Structure 1
């Protein structure tokens, strides 16, 4: 689900807590050594995730926030901020020439540059959390 979170959005708070769980506590964030990625450069968005007033030539950045039952991808366009809620059971990632996150026919593709290389440990942590949450113990990590 995509929400405009430029300003406080009560619907977003309810849906995010329902679908992916509440944010981690301060001590859990420290214990996990962070629950957010550094910024990633967006290369392509699916049509459904494209903001109505988007600029095609502007560089867009995104970051990923871990939650107990899923992730939230935050990205901006001009002065607006959008949040895409993705539960773990719908989360699919691909890493070819680009790193991409897919869910329900929607996707965000990120450039594989220095920012991506800085986030490799975070992406591995995200996939470990998905595997442990879905109890997919047969995958080698």
Structure 2
């Protein structure tokens, strides 16, 4: 689900929380040694996201936030902020070439440059969290 999250809208926050869970508490963030990716450079996207990104001339960047039940990939276009909401059960993460990761949800995708060790470490943390916590939640349902 691709949403405009520029404005403080209770309905949109509720959709996000329903889809990927509420944000981690401060204590959980500290125990996890952070839940955000930092700035990631976008190399390629699906057509819907591409049409938003070409509206301005700036370098295309995004950030990933981990949530209990999924991730949120945020990026800016013009003065608006957009979020691609991906629950873990729809998340497909591929490591392409040595310098690129592909993040898929249904017909949306974003490919990011992985030119630093921090990007690789964050993706490993994301996959480890998904493997440990999401599979145990599915078994309890």
SS of the residue 1:100 aligns to: strand
Gaps in structure 1 of 5+ consecutive residues: 137-141
The structure richer in helix per residue is 2
For the residues of structure 1 that align with 2:133 and 2:110, how far apart are their CA atoms?
23
- Normalised TM-score (structure 2): 0.86
Q: Which digits, 9 at most, give the CA deviation of each residue in 1:18-62, with x for residues without a partner?
A: 011000011111111101111100111101233547337531110
Write the deviation string for residues 52-74 of structure 1: whole angstroms up to 9, x where unpaired.
Answer: 47337531110100000100001
CA contact 1:54–1:78 (8 Å) conserved in 2: no
Stretches of structure 2 that go unaligned for 5 or more consecutive residues are 137-141
For the residues of structure 1 that align with 2:76 and 2:27, how far apart are their CA atoms?
A: 28
Count of aligned pairs between the two proteins: 134
Q: Give the TM-score normalised by the residue count of structure 1.
A: 0.86
Query: Could you tell me which residue of structure 2 aligns to residue 25 of structure 1?
Result: 25
User: Deviating runs (4+, > 4 A) in structure 1?
Assistant: none
Matches of 2:96 and 2:54 in 1, distance apart? 26
Q: Secondary structure of the equivalent of 1:99?
A: strand
What residue in structure 1 maps to residue 103 of structure 2? 101
RMSD of equivalent CA atoms = 1.8
